[in-house]
Structure 1
Amino acid sequence: MLFWCALIVVSGAYVTTPLLHVFESEFQVSKTMSAWTSSSFSFFYAIGFLLFGPLSDRIGRKTVILIGLLSLAITTPLIGLSTSFSVLVILRGLQGFVASTFAPSALAYAFDVFPSNRLITTIGFISFGYVTSGIFGQVLADLLYQWASWKTVFFLFGFLYFMTFIAASIYFPTPAKSGEKEGVRYYIINSKKIFSERNFILIYFITITLLLTFMGMYTLLGDFFSHEPFQLNEKQILGVRALGIVGMIISPFAGKIVNKLGVLVTLRTGIGLSALGLFLLGGGNHILFLVGMSIVYVMGISITFPSIMVLIGELGGNIRALVNTYYAFILFIGAMLGPIIAISLLSIGTYFTTFLILSLLLVGSFLLSLKIKI
């Protein structure tokens, strides 16, 4: 159930990625402006992490999760009723804000509810839901658009959120404890501690590049394959997006890879694969090769995310929840910047130079990962 919640909630961040060209024509806005339908969600999603983590300590994890799901069920269909671009962007921001109730509460909820022998498996499924949502959200949104209209995407997701709210209300056990009710002083003192620690600073610099490149790459992917020499149609582009799931299959096994290779080797391998895949995606000219490189990129990202979560767990100690809150905040600041940066780079260059620059960000992250010491 937590896997489904992670999948459906975080998918909301990605549903507009294949629809940017639709918003361009529907509302007569530029490509850069249309990117704000993704970026507004990501920005307020990131902001919400800073609020809802501490709030879940105060009023209970399950309560915050249920409030978030019900709020999503209300706000999401309203997006489908938008008649102006500004209203659409505002509602996407509101959707992102209420969606941020889940992630910081879910991990703490798992620690409260599940016994230690089931905890690693549970966290693995939650992480897999987060990772898979990046492709699932895009593919389902694209399918619904091709079948009906862009408005249908938000109507269906609103219905799914409502059904998830009902299921979670019934099947989520109420934990015996809701967490420590820490005061403001706790967050100030430990925030200073986190941002004075070299390892955390390096991790956060790496973190911002992950969804930045992911959102940037997938924002351009449809246009990239629709132009010469490929000229794929919408159904074929949908297939390319869906094949990204192949790269995500490795995610549930990331824990075993970490145990075998060590967390730092796994992290560096993931970043290296994603940088290589993104670089070659811009430089190739054969469709099968390019699709393969997009899968390699996704595979690298799918290894990197769990590695960072394990690393945070090892380094965070008794403040790992706060470390994770800042991680999630910075991760989605990157997601906010991704579409805007990718479109801006394309406006002054080519697909090759854009993918090259994005891959160089990951190369920088790889070099930073060499400086992490545990």
Structure 2
Amino acid sequence: MNPQSAADAPKPQATAILFWCSLIVVSAVYLTIPLISLFADIFRVSASQAAWAGSAFSFAFAGGGLAFGVLSDRYGRKKLMMAGLALLSVTTLAIGTVDALPWLIALRALQGLAASMFPPSVLAYAMEMFPARKRVTIIGFISTAFLMASIVGQLYSSLIVLSFDWSYVFYILSAVYLASFVAIVFGIPGDKNGSPQGGFFAPFARIGYIFRRRGLPIAYIISGTLFTALVGYFSTLGSYLSGPTFGMSHQEILWVRAVGIIGMFISPFDGKLVDRFGIKPVLCGGLALAAVGLGLLGVWPNLAFLIVTSVVFTTGVAMALPAQISMIGQLAGDIRAVAVSFHMFMLFIGASLGPIVAVYLMDLGGYLFTFLVLAGLLALSTVVPMFIRLGEAPAAAHGQAQHSA
């Protein structure tokens, strides 16, 4: 589909609506990270068992995102965004009523499927409905929302449980999703997709093409390790700060997490870095910066030092993620939309593994060991771009990546 003309493009408030909805939908991935120890106490299970409340969501979110990214071509971007928010409102409300861990895990998986309808649809909508001169900006805002969600989701659930029962985390959010559904219905114009052609499974055949493009399959190694490290970091940080070294309260941990947002504001400007230095240098630089910040995090038990290294880590992630999308977009060529959907699939497979890996590593060797192993994953990922050949100029590649989204 061709992008809309400037006259038909969404109004400025549509950018705010898409940013807001992207933020609150992806925040659901991270809601339960601060609640793992609480769930372990309430349901009388181990921390590793309670961590499945997060991992079940992420696995469903990853698989659903790949499927719905393809199906949005068939049924329309706005329709899938609406369906996702409507189903999120229902499933999120139901989660607040559970009294057993298996039900919590099952409903979190359904919530993950509902949420997975939104991200691939909103990226495709932004590309198709906004004129070229605004496209980079709106996709930058959406990408920033996805990153900020990793902290905002935790902040929200942490704040609610300070004053209310944990179930209110989901009751309140259910109402927010319902209001956001109304905002999407009336606040953004409809897209021109939604005219099914061919059989139902025909669009899925394109997924196999990504494994035939040279360099593309190994690029997904970075997609997986990036969010394994990010979510593993958040899972470890809360336990580290509340432990004997710092002995911080729930509210104090909340503000330490919030400072990490500072590093994420570099994401909308990543395109300029790519234009100037090239995709691979920015990607490797971001991964290396994230690895350094994460590796140093547990070295010195000083709060100011920990906050600085946390910001270094999140800055590196915010640099690496858009550059990674740029590289995948260039490698994929005419299958960019499917390739970026698979990238998101791998991101949230990593997000699913993050809490499990973090709990295992903490049991095995403690906090410093966990931070170092996760940093080592990022450091090893910096080698991957060296085996990938990019054939176009950085600026062209960046433009393609924005188109792919």
Report the CA distance shift for 1:46/1:148 in structure 2 as closer, same or farther (over 3 A).
Answer: same
- Deviation per CA, 1:6-30: give whole Å up to 9, x if none: 1010000001011111101111110
CA displacement, residues 238-291 of structure 1 (integer Å, 9 cap, x when unaligned): 111111111112112111221222111111111001100110012222111111
Distance 1:177 1:339 in 2: 37
Residue 113 of structure 2 is aligned with which of 89, 97, 111? 97
- Corresponding residue number in structure 2 for 1:160: 176
Contact kept in structure 2, 1:112 and 1:178, CA below 8 Å = no
Structure 1 residue 192, shift from structure 2 partner: 3.6
- Deviation string 1:148-188 (CA, Å, 9 cap, x unpaired) is 12111111111110000001100110123448846545643
- Distance in 2, matches of 1:179 and 1:213, equals 40
Gap change, CA 1:199 and 1:173, over 3 Å in 2 = same
Corresponding position of 1:20? 36
Give the Cα separation in 2 of the matches to 1:170 and 1:65: 13
**Pairwise CA RMSD of aligned residues?**
1.5
Give 1:51 deviation, angstroms. 1.8
Q: How many residues align?
A: 373
- Give the unaligned 5+ runs of structure 2: 1-16, 391-405
Q: What residue identity is the alignment partner of 1:352? A: L
Q: Deviations over 1:14-62 (max 9, x none)?
A: 0101111110111111010011010000000011022212221111111
* Match in the other structure for 1:343: 359
* Counterpart Cα distance in 2 of 1:111 and 1:179: 18
Supply the AA of the counterpart residue of 1:321.
A
**1:52 partner amino acid:** F
Any idea what the Cα deviations from partners look like across 1:100-129, whole Å, max 9, x if unmatched? Answer: 000111111122211122111111111111
DSSP 3-state at the match of 2:31: coil
The residue type paired with residue 334 of structure 1 is G
Identify the match of residue 289 of structure 1 among 295, 298, 305: 305
**Residue 227 in structure 1 maps to residue 243 in structure 2:** yes
Q: Secondary structure at the match of 1:7?
A: helix
- Tell me how far 1:140 sits from its aligned partner: 1.1
Is 1:319 the counterpart of 2:335? The answer is yes
Q: Deviations over 1:295-351 (max 9, x none)?
A: 111111111111111222222222101101111111111111110011011111111
| Equivalent runs, 1:23-34 vs 2, <5 Å | 23-34=39-50
Letter in 1 for 2:321: F
Alignment of 1:292-371 (within 5 A): 292-371=308-387
Question: What per-residue deviation string (whole Å, max 9, x for no partner) do you get for residues 186-221 of structure 1?
Answer: 643x43432133421221011100111111111111
CA distance in 1, matches of 2:132, 2:329: 15
**Counterpart selection for 2:263 from 236, 240, 247:** 247
Distance 1:179 1:272, change over 3 A: farther
Match for 1:208 among 224, 227, 241? 224
**Residue matched to 2:26:** 10
240, 258, 262: which is aligned to 2:274? 258
2:64 corresponding residue in structure 1: 48
Shift of 1:228: 2.3
Q: 1:19 to 1:186 in 2, by over 3 A?
A: closer
Task: Give the one of 138, 155, 174 matched to 1:139.
Answer: 155
52 and 45 in structure 1: CA distance in 2 versus 1, 3 angstrom threshold: same
SS at match of 2:301: coil
Secondary structure (helix, strand or coil) at the match of 2:373 reads: helix
TM-score by length of 2: 0.89
CA distance in 1 between partners of 2:197 and 2:157 (Å):
39
SS in 1 for 2:248: coil
Aligned to 1:194: 210
Say if 1:32 and 1:340, in contact at 8 Å, map to a contact too.
Answer: yes
1:58 corresponds to which letter in structure 2?
Answer: R
Which piece of structure 1 moves more, 307-316 or 201-210? 307-316
| TM-score for the superposition, normalised by structure 1 | 0.96
Answer yes or no: is the 8 Å Cα contact 1:206–1:369 preserved in 2.
no
**SS of 2:192's equivalent?**
coil
Structure 2 distance, partners of 1:77, 1:102, is 18
Q: Is the CA contact (8 Å cut-off) linking 1:112 and 1:177 kept in structure 2?
A: no
Match of 2:128 in 1: 112
Q: Assess if the C-alpha contact under 8 Å between 1:57 and 1:182 holds in 2.
A: no
Distance 1:181-1:289 versus aligned 2 partners, 3 A rule = farther
Equivalent-residue separation in structure 1 for 2:113 and 2:294 (angstroms): 30
Alignment of 1:271-282 (within 5 A): 271-282=287-298
**C-alpha distance in 2 between matches for 1:102 and 1:182:** 24
Distance 1:305 1:98, change over 3 A: same
Aligned-pair identity in percent equals 40
What's the secondary structure of 1:370's corresponding residue?
A: helix
